[in-house]
Every structure is written in structure tokens, then in C-alpha cells.
Amino acid sequence: MAEHDQDDLHLDPELQALLGELDYEDSGPPAGLRTRTLDAVRAQPVPGQATERRRAAARERRRLGRPAILGGAVGIAAAVAIALVVILGSGGPGAPDRTLTLAGADGSVTVEIRGDEATLSGDGAELPAGTEYELWTITGEPDDPTLTSAGTFRPGDDGTVDAELTLPEGTPDDAPLAVTREDDDDPAPNLPPALAAQA
């Protein structure tokens, strides 16, 4: 039986007497308890250590994420470059479907066609200021052509042209165009045309 100083226990006298009568061996703590306890204590984070671990993990994620971000940026830049090549290669955004120069004794106009919209500009010889002109589409057979009006326009005071007209619905993509002088009230075209495509 192990010897204990009963006065050091500071227990009730009856309990001290009972303990004195018990027959047991003091074998100490279970094997490995000290090691397991110290390992568990070491595993606990020191104050501030958990925060530093989180920061280190975040730095590692950012480091690993940089190649993906750079790869995405390179991909976007490549897509923009391809789009620019396509746009520039096709003549730019809104490039005309067809461009014609109509010229004659009065001067000349350039007609850019986008869909059914015709933009007239005086890039050539100036037309007489204040004169009314009419743009016509020509369809049908060469010996029996049909002229359909696309609208009228007047050159500015300096003889330059800047007009937007709408081609008649169903106008063929390759329909010839002509411009006549229309200084009267007759709805029919005044032929021959003042401006036409040059052969």
C-alpha cells in the first residue's frame, strides 16, 4: 500500500480514515499520457498564429491564381485583336455593301449603299448649288427599263452633296442607279440622266 501524508490531503477526518484503510498501488499515470498531452498542447495555435496561417494560405492562392488571371487577360487581348483584324479587313464597321460614282456634265456624286440606305456625298466635281436632283434605281430589261425614285436632294451652297436616301423595297443588290435634274413638277424622270455610272 502506498504511503500518503494524510495531513497534506486536507480532507474530512472520516474520509482520511477511509482512505487509510484502502489497499491500492500508486502506479502513476497511464503510459504515453504525458506524450499525448504535450502533442495536443503543441498542436494548439499560438495566439496570432492562426491568422498568419490564413494569410499564408491566401498568399498561396493568389500566387497560384496569377497564371489563370494572366491567361484570361491574354485570351481577352487575343479576342480583341482578332475582332479588330476582322473589322479592319472588312473595311471597318458599317462598311458599305456597294459604292458607286455617278458622274456627268453637272459634276459627280459618290453613292454608298448599306442595305436599303443610300448615302450620297460630293467627293467629286461639285454640282450646281440650289438645283434639285432625284436618285433613281433602274430595273427591267435594257430596252425597256423601269426607273423607280429613291428620293430627291439638293447640293449645298458650295455645291457639295450630303444626303441620306432610302432605296425602294426589293431593289436588287446590283441595280444600276442614275440621277436626273428635276426642276419641274413632272413626277416622271427628266431623261437622259444628268449623272450615271461610268462604263
Residue 184 counted as domain residue: yes
| pLDDT on residue 68 | 54
Instruction: For CA atoms 43, 49, 50, 55, give the dihedral sign.
Output: negative
Residue 30 counted as domain residue: no
Looking at the structure, do residues 128 and 149 belong to the same domain, yes or no? Answer: yes
| pLDDT on residue 86 | 40
Residue 25 counted as domain residue: no
| pLDDT on residue 183 | 82
Looking at the structure, do residues 103 and 84 belong to the same domain, yes or no? Answer: no
What is the C-alpha separation between 189 and 108, in angstroms, rounded?
18
CA angle, corner 117, sides to 112 and 120, nearest 5? 40
Number of domains in the chain: 2
Choosing from 57, 89, 121, the residue where a domain stops is 89
Average pLDDT of the residues in 146-172: 92
What is the C-alpha separation between 44 and 47, in angstroms, rounded?
9
Looking at the structure, do residues 112 and 163 belong to the same domain, yes or no? Answer: yes
Residue 70 dihedral angles phi and psi, to the nearest 5°: -65, -40
| pLDDT on residue 90 | 42
Residue 114 counted as domain residue: yes
Q: Mind listing the pLDDT tens digit for each residue in 95-153?
A: 889 999 999 988 899 999 999 999 999 766 788 888 999 999 999 988 889 999 999 99
Looking at the structure, do residues 74 and 102 belong to the same domain, yes or no? Answer: no
Assign 154 a pLDDT band (cuts: 50, 70, 90): very high
Helix H or strand E segment including 146: strand 144-153
Looking at the structure, do residues 143 and 60 belong to the same domain, yes or no? Answer: no
Residue 4 counted as domain residue: no
Looking at the structure, do residues 105 and 178 belong to the same domain, yes or no? Answer: yes
Which residue has better confidence, 5 or 120? 120
Looking at the structure, do residues 120 and 165 belong to the same domain, yes or no? Answer: yes
Looking at the structure, do residues 148 and 186 belong to the same domain, yes or no? Answer: yes
| pLDDT on residue 57 | 75
Going by C-alpha positions, the residue among 159, 146, 156, 160 that lies closest to residue 191 is: 146
Domain extent, residue 80, equals 38-89
pLDDT higher than 70, residue 83: no
Looking at the structure, do residues 110 and 163 belong to the same domain, yes or no? Answer: yes
Looking at the structure, do residues 136 and 162 belong to the same domain, yes or no? Answer: yes
What predicted TM-score, i.e. pTM, was given to this entire model? 0.53
Q: Mind listing the pLDDT tens digit for each residue in 170-191?
A: 999 999 999 999 988 888 999 9
Looking at the structure, do residues 77 and 43 belong to the same domain, yes or no? Answer: yes
Residue 125 counted as domain residue: yes
Looking at the structure, do residues 121 and 145 belong to the same domain, yes or no? Answer: yes
